[in-house]
Amino acid sequence: MKITSMEVLILESPREYGIGETESDSSGPKYVLLLKLRTDEGLTGIADCDSHPHVMKALLDAPQYIPGMAEGLKYAVLGSNPYECDKIWNRMYRSSFYHGRRGAALQAMSAIDIAVWDLIGKASGQPVGVMLGGSNHTRIPAYASTLFRHTPEGMKEAVRHYRALGFKAVKFGWGVVTAEPRKAIALVEAARLEAGDDMGLMIDGIWTADVKLAIELVRELRPYRLFFVEEPLRSDDLAGYRKLAQATDTRIACGEQLSGLHEFRQLIEQGDVDIIQPDISRAGGFTEVRKLVSLAEQSGKLLIPHAWTSDLLTAASLHVNAYLQQPVFQEFCTNDSPLSRDLALRPLVLDADGCLAVPTGPGLGVELNEEVVARYTIDRQVITL
């Protein structure tokens, strides 16, 4: 079996990113990248990528600058046998030697790698979780992932809304607290008052450069029993994270912006955070994240995948959670956007216990709703050699 073509699609949402004061939920990124890999046996592997689609497209289709060392990732993929996923990954890594093997290039590699694993799952009739080495769990507790509301009353209304949907936990992030971090105190207090003791709460997006302020805020938030505080500092401030982790007893989470095992090893060893949060579509795909699972578990860290795009990425993250020995949560983006839930032909659904079922179909176990894809596609290119 050979990969014969790569189709790159950029979709545009009718909604802008963010949340207005009167809106009931947040909206996701303006654009989405979809990738399809096709084989000579008629199979198609799919993936999305939580990165800038236009940048990803350029990295996939760039011409050869120096053959084998600085060229579009298509040269490492087309003509390859998808079962040789490690070989493909290493070729891609070598192909981006001169234009950066971390960051954007590795994110583009991640999308390809996810689609490769979807292909070999479909060829073998097995879900990705099994192919990773063992699907140890069938259901994963989910938390609603949304943006901070503008007022305490808005926070209370949001908690009531997500509880009614069946969620047992919710994470509020970004929005007003990024510009004014101190607003988080009153907003989290209101959320906890409404949530009571039986609902988990987490926050994200304070994102200050002031380590002492981060320490102060995390300490002030302690009475509200947050399960974790995510990325209160910039992701590459490893010394700051170590100071923060040592100064507080609240779990600190980080990792969605990182790419590759090298960066995650630095985060674990130098930042000493409690929770590692790889985005499968940025961190290197399944091939790299499978190694990260072992590293995190051996280091005594929790691993909770980041997932903020469509059900394709959520499904990929569920397979990683199923592979973990002790999964904690699945992030479930609640965006009010057709590019979140509507891209899957059969959208993932929260069950009565606030859990998501790990897909059991071959590969990712989800299919694209091609009608929705066609409706929102603004750029489509089929790449061959």
pLDDT at 125: 98
**Is the CATH code 3.40.350.10 the one for domain 3-126+368-383?**
no
Which two three-digit tokens encode residue 198? 């039986």
Q: Can you spell out the DSSP letters for 182-198?
A: THHHHHHHHHHHHHTTS
Across 13-149, the runs of DSSP E, i.e. the strands, are 31-39, 44-49, 139-147
The C-alpha atoms of residue 108 and residue 115 are separated, in whole angstroms, by 11
* Pair 232, 217: CB distance under 8 Å: yes
**218 to each of 183, 245, 278, how far by Cα in Å?**
13, 10, 22
At residue 92, what is the residue type? M
- Tell me the whole-structure pTM to 2 decimals: 0.97
- Please tell me the predicted confidence (pLDDT) of residue 68: 93
Beta bridge partners of 200: 169
CA atoms within 13 A on the CB side of 209: 0
* Contact criterion met (CB below 8 Å) for 325 and 47: no
Domain ranges for the chain, please list them. 3-126+368-383, 130-357
**Beta 275-276 vs 302-303: how paired, if at all?**
parallel
Q: Which CATH architecture has domain 130-357?
A: Alpha-Beta Barrel (3.20)
CB–CB of 113/287 below 8 Å? Answer: yes
Mean per-residue pLDDT pooled into runs of 10, the chain (385 residues): 98 87 79 97 97 96 95 98 98 94 94 98 98 97 96 97 97 94 97 97 95 98 98 95 97 96 97 98 98 98 96 98 98 90 94 97 98 98 94
Tokens 């497209």 found at: 57
- Judge contact between 56 and 366, C-beta under 8 A: no
By C-alpha distance, which of 303, 295, 226 is closest to 266?
295
